[in-house]
Amino acid sequence: MKLAVSTQGPEPGSPVDTHFGRARFFRVLDTETGQQTVLDNADGAGVVQGAGPRAVQRLCRLGVQAVLTGHVGPKARTALEAATIEAYAVEGGTAEEAVRVFMAGQLRAIVPAAGGGQLGHGPRISVRQCLHPLETRAGQSREPAGSGSA
Amino acid sequence: MRIAVASGKGGTGKTTVAANLAVTLARHGQTVAYVDCDVEAPNGHLFLKPIPVGEVGVSRLVPRVNPGQCLRCGACARFCRFNAIVCLTDRTLVYDELCHSCGGCVRVCPSEALTEVPHPMGVVKTGVAGAVRCVSGTLDVGESTSPPVIRAAKQAAPPASWVILDAPPGTACPMVETVRDCDYVLLVTEPTPFGLHDLRLAAEVMRTLHLNFGVVVNRADPGAPETRAWCEQGRVPILAEIPDSAAIARAYAQGRLIVEALPGLEPLFDQLIARLGAEVHREIREEGGVLA
Amino acid sequence: MPEAAALFELVVLSGKGGTGKTCVTASLAALAHEPVLADCDVDASNLPLVLNPQPQRRESFTGGLRAHIQSDRCSACGKCQEVCRFAAIALDGPGNGCVPRTYRVDTAACEGCGVCEYCCAGHAIDLRPADSGEWFVSDTRYGPLVHAGLHPGEGNSGKLVMLVREQARQIAAATGRRLILMDGPPGIGCPVIASLTGATRMLVITEPTPSGEHDLERMLALGRHFGVPAWVCVNKHDLNPAMATHMERHAVERGATVVGRIPYDPEVTAAQRQGRPLVEMNRGPAATAIAGLWQRIRAEGSVLINVND
């Protein structure tokens, strides 16, 4: 599978960056081939808004299926769920340590709270989701492009 | 006559001056409209207490994807500079709050799969407070951009001999949007270091926009001459000085207009109007004096 | 269990201007243990006026991309003005031999969306970084201070605020400091949002007046909207004690925590005239109240910042 870790530096030994959208780098690893690449997220880290969605877009284009990170903001969370990219919580350590712990099945999944956000009464995200006609996932209903909230 | 009441620093007394000025002009028999352009934190209605007449929503356009025509090419997401569109393998996400309503995504879409729908961002309320026609713009919480709501509020102002625009604090876009088409700007300041520092910034904006302006000193303190010195040096007229008085502070804290709570202060606003009239009819001096 | 290097970002906001944000922030800076300081009110930066900063670093700020029309390539067709949603383009550029006037972009109004560039048939438009202001890193007695100034009339304060915050975070990481104390801008718009997103807590300084009450309500809504818990402190509470109590009760109902109240005190302005934080100048009623406020904030935040002293 393709895995990404949000990091503060480009090395395998760089510390994990706990802010997903504003992470300085993403380290992308293909667990089957062992191939690793580093994504520079300097531009994303500096945007006023939309850092989370932007990061998800980039990871999605690379085919990333899971991300190891710390704090995921509500807009990023919505996008990760829509993209079916799993997110796992890392608490400190380096990128390679995080991967080891993940592969050992010891990381907690960042499960979305019922109301979204970290506090039980998180922000109301106004997001329209438009499902494309040919590819719907099994078991999911086709919603028209109305103003969905997450 | 369009008069904006602005300041660099927040909390100097813009709303106090604008609301009392409007009410005094009405008492002089002028037709007056008061427009609250501080759409992020509008407070004028708390003092004028207008009887509501109408309310109009302000909205901006946000994109909506037609799934039947979308090719999933990602051109819209790539064009958007505000990270408002995320193109996933089986769906497209549009974040209304991040969208700046530029319309670019619609233009770049190769299959005309995008249309635009209104997204509410604020409201403009109109009302009547005695003889003063009141307009107030309010930006919805969570929205980033004031100018469209400010523009809508200004457009909703009824015709009047005097239109008093209560500006937002600061020197950036919202203030500029409010003052840009006015005949004269009153900069309200307080005689403190913060007040003077920010008055200078506001004056710079006035110069850049080639706007005629004068100063009202609120909570004036005879022991703080720096503001007066700066105005004299720059030949910036001081059109009124409102004293630093507990009675005025109390009236404000009770949500009362100064000229109604303390009729002894009516002459201060009468004089402000007289000086304002004289100033707006003066020719604009090209060099505008030396502004330190 | 928070990380060893967990950062506490406290932003001081008010909604309404003039309630005392900057004065309180300056005093908290003097009371806090090794904070990093940031002035996020980039439109009217006042915090430096009372902290006596020694500038160490000065950089210019390019406020994102702005459209630029090359007048020698402009045919004055007007398409750019037609498609601009922000009223940022006017026919007031110089003539170029073919046309008497060309179109010109008002960089303060331009949002950098790129639509005019896309639509210009003559490829006369490109997006360029615009010099919109400056930012500084200064030393103060209380800690490093990141501050900035937007050129008057400019837009895009949000981006400059993000830059100030990012610099503050980098300084915190480099120096091992774990508290960032930010003086926020007035209002609820873009620069406020930029100072608020991802902050650990927001401290709302308000006043016991109808304006204060009205704007407190909006600030609390903003905090809920962005998921940042709110602390509330009524300044000049003794000007209307009943209103102060009413506002505090209302704030608690809205999920905020009341962390203190400050009485009216003319010494506040006196300290400002001296260019110093109030708590350094005297031990009057306001200074005492702010010291109490700081103790309460430490207690509330101690789980997260692990302060030792």
Mutate to test the interface with C, among B188, B190, B201, B226 (most CBs of C within 10 A): B201
Predicted confidence (pLDDT) at residue B90 exceeds the cutoff of 90 = no
Residue A95 lies in a domain: yes
**Which of B70, B95, B142 shows the shortest C-beta gap to A127?**
B95
Domain B60-120 sits in CATH at 3.30.70.20
Q: How far is the alpha carbon of C111 from chain A, nearest alpha carbon, in Å?
A: 13
Residue A149 lies in a domain: no
- On chain A, the residues whose CB falls within 8 A of the CB of C196 are none
Asked if C188 has any chain B CB less than 8 Å from its own CB, the reply is yes
Predicted confidence (pLDDT) at residue A135 exceeds the cutoff of 50 = no
The mean pLDDT value for A15-28 works out to 92
Q: Where does the pLDDT of residue A140 fall: very low under 50, low under 70, confident under 90, or very high at 90 and above?
A: very low
CA distances from C276 to B264, C13, C267, C272 (A): 37, 20, 11, 6
- On chain B, the residues whose CB falls within 8 A of the CB of A53 are 83-84, 86, 93, 95, 98
> Would the CB atoms of A123 and C193 count as touching at under 8 Å?
no
The mean pLDDT value for B234-241 works out to 96
3-class DSSP assignment, residue B63: strand
> Would the CB atoms of A126 and B95 count as touching at under 8 Å?
yes
> Considering only residues 249 to 278 of chain C, which have any Cβ-Cβ distance to chain B shorter than 8 Å?
269, 272-273, 275
Q: How far is the alpha carbon of C31 from chain A, nearest alpha carbon, in Å?
A: 29
- On chain A, the residues whose CB falls within 8 A of the CB of B64 are 128, 130, 145
C257 φ, ψ (degrees, to nearest 5): -115, 130
- On chain B, the residues whose CB falls within 8 A of the CB of C215 are 41, 43
CA distances from C133 to B194, C58, C98, C129, C148 (A): 19, 11, 35, 12, 7
Q: Which of C131, C164, C188 is the last residue of a domain?
A: C131
Residues of chain B with CATH 3.40.50.300: 2-30+161-280
- What lies within 8 Å, CB to CB, of B195 at 6+ separation is B9, B12, B189, B227
The mean pLDDT value for A14-19 works out to 89
Residue A147 lies in a domain: no
**Which of A47, A75, A133 shows the shortest C-beta gap to B67?**
A133
Residues in chain B: 292
CA distances from B154 to B54, B103, B164, B178, C222 (A): 15, 24, 10, 8, 25
Nearest to B123 by CA among B141, B104, B110, B136: B136
Q: Would you call B71 exposed, middle or buried from its count of C-beta atoms within 10 A (0-12, 13-18, 19+)?
A: exposed
Q: Give the pLDDT of residue C62.
A: 82
What is the secondary structure of A94-136 as a DSSP string?
BHHHHHHHHHTT-SEE-PPPTTSSSSSS-PPPEEEEEE-SS--
What proportion of chain B, given as a percentage, has pLDDT over 70? 97
Residue C57 lies in a domain: no
Q: Write down which chains contact chain C via at least 3 CB pairs under 8 A.
A: A, B
* Assigned token pair, B228: 């007066």
- On chain B, the residues whose CB falls within 8 A of the CB of C189 are 40, 139, 143-146, 174
Q: Write down which chains contact chain A via at least 3 CB pairs under 8 A.
A: B, C
> Considering only residues 53 to 72 of chain B, which have any Cβ-Cβ distance to chain A shorter than 8 Å?
62, 64-68, 70, 72
- On chain B, the residues whose CB falls within 8 A of the CB of C190 are 144-145
Q: Which residue has the tokens 């480099």?
A: C174
Mutate to test the interface with A, among B95, B102, B117, B144 (most CBs of A within 10 A): B95
Q: Which of C131, C155, C178 is the last residue of a domain?
A: C131
C195 φ, ψ (degrees, to nearest 5): -80, -15
Residue A9 lies in a domain: yes
Predicted confidence (pLDDT) at residue A124 exceeds the cutoff of 80 = no
CB atoms inside a 10 Å sphere around CB B245: 14
DSSP 8-state assignment for residue C75: -
Residue C136 lies in a domain: no
Domain that holds residue A12: 2-115
The mean pLDDT value for A45-53 works out to 85
Q: Give the pLDDT of residue C132.
A: 81
Q: Give the pLDDT of residue C275.
A: 93
Domain that holds residue C183: 8-52+141-305
Distance CA C183, CA C40 (A): 6
ipTM of the complex: 0.87
Question: What is the domain class of B2-30+161-280 according to CATH?
Answer: alpha beta
> Would the CB atoms of B41 and C85 count as touching at under 8 Å?
no
Q: Give the pLDDT of residue C159.
A: 87
Nearest CA in chain B to A140: B90
> Would the CB atoms of C198 and A73 count as touching at under 8 Å?
yes
Provide the terminal-to-terminal Cα distance of chain B, rounded to the nearest Å: 29
> Would the CB atoms of A18 and C3 count as touching at under 8 Å?
yes
Provide the terminal-to-terminal Cα distance of chain A, rounded to the nearest Å: 27
The mean pLDDT value for B221-249 works out to 92
CB atoms inside a 10 Å sphere around CB B222: 10
Q: What CATH number has the domain bearing residue C97?
A: 3.30.70.20
- On chain B, the residues whose CB falls within 8 A of the CB of A123 are 142
Q: What CATH number has the domain bearing residue A54?
A: 3.30.420.130
Residue A140 lies in a domain: no
Asked if B88 has any chain A CB less than 8 Å from its own CB, the reply is yes
Residue A16 lies in a domain: yes
> Would the CB atoms of A132 and B91 count as touching at under 8 Å?
yes
Asked if A119 has any chain C CB less than 8 Å from its own CB, the reply is yes
Q: Where does the pLDDT of residue A127 fall: very low under 50, low under 70, confident under 90, or very high at 90 and above?
A: low
Nearest CA in chain C to B196: C46
Predicted confidence (pLDDT) at residue B231 exceeds the cutoff of 50 = yes
Handedness of CA C8, B95, A150, A108 (dihedral sign): negative
Nearest to C224 by CA among A120, B139, A122: A122
pLDDT in tens, chain C (309 residues): 334 457 899 999 999 889 999 999 999 999 999 999 999 999 899 999 999 999 999 999 887 789 999 999 999 999 999 999 998 999 999 999 999 999 999 988 889 999 999 999 999 999 998 878 999 999 999 999 999 998 887 777 888 999 999 999 999 989 999 999 999 999 999 899 999 988 999 999 999 999 999 999 999 999 998 889 999 999 999 999 999 999 999 999 999 999 999 999 989 999 999 999 999 998 899 999 999 999 999 998 875 554 443
The H-assigned helical ranges of C135-284 are 157-175, 190-196, 210-225, 241-253, 267-274, 278-281
Distance CA A11, CA A13 (A): 5
Q: Would you call B267 exposed, middle or buried from its count of C-beta atoms within 10 A (0-12, 13-18, 19+)?
A: exposed
Q: What CATH number has the domain bearing residue C255?
A: 3.40.50.300
Asked if C221 has any chain B CB less than 8 Å from its own CB, the reply is yes
Q: Give the pLDDT of residue C283.
A: 81
Predicted confidence (pLDDT) at residue B178 exceeds the cutoff of 90 = yes
Residues C222 and C258 both lie in one domain: yes
* pLDDT tens-digit series, residues A84-99: 999 999 988 999 999 9
Q: How many domains does chain C have?
A: 2
Predicted confidence (pLDDT) at residue B48 exceeds the cutoff of 60 = yes
**Which of C50, C115, C275 shows the shortest C-beta gap to B107?**
C115
Calculate ∠ Cα C190-C192-C194, nearest 5°: 70
Predicted confidence (pLDDT) at residue A118 exceeds the cutoff of 80 = no
Residue A145 lies in a domain: no
Q: Where does the pLDDT of residue B45 fall: very low under 50, low under 70, confident under 90, or very high at 90 and above?
A: very high
- On chain A, the residues whose CB falls within 8 A of the CB of C226 are 123
Q: Give the pLDDT of residue C108.
A: 81
Q: How far is the alpha carbon of C215 from chain B, nearest alpha carbon, in Å?
A: 6
- What lies within 8 Å, CB to CB, of A104 at 6+ separation is none
Predicted confidence (pLDDT) at residue B229 exceeds the cutoff of 60 = yes
Nearest CA in chain B to C189: B144
Q: Where does the pLDDT of residue A47 fall: very low under 50, low under 70, confident under 90, or very high at 90 and above?
A: confident
Distance CA B42, CA C210 (A): 11
Residues C113 and C166 both lie in one domain: no
> Would the CB atoms of A130 and B67 count as touching at under 8 Å?
yes
Residue A124 lies in a domain: no
Q: Give the pLDDT of residue A43.
A: 86
- On chain C, the residues whose CB falls within 8 A of the CB of B145 are 189-190
The overall average pLDDT reported for chain A is 78
Q: How many domains does chain A have?
A: 1
Q: Give the pLDDT of residue A111.
A: 53
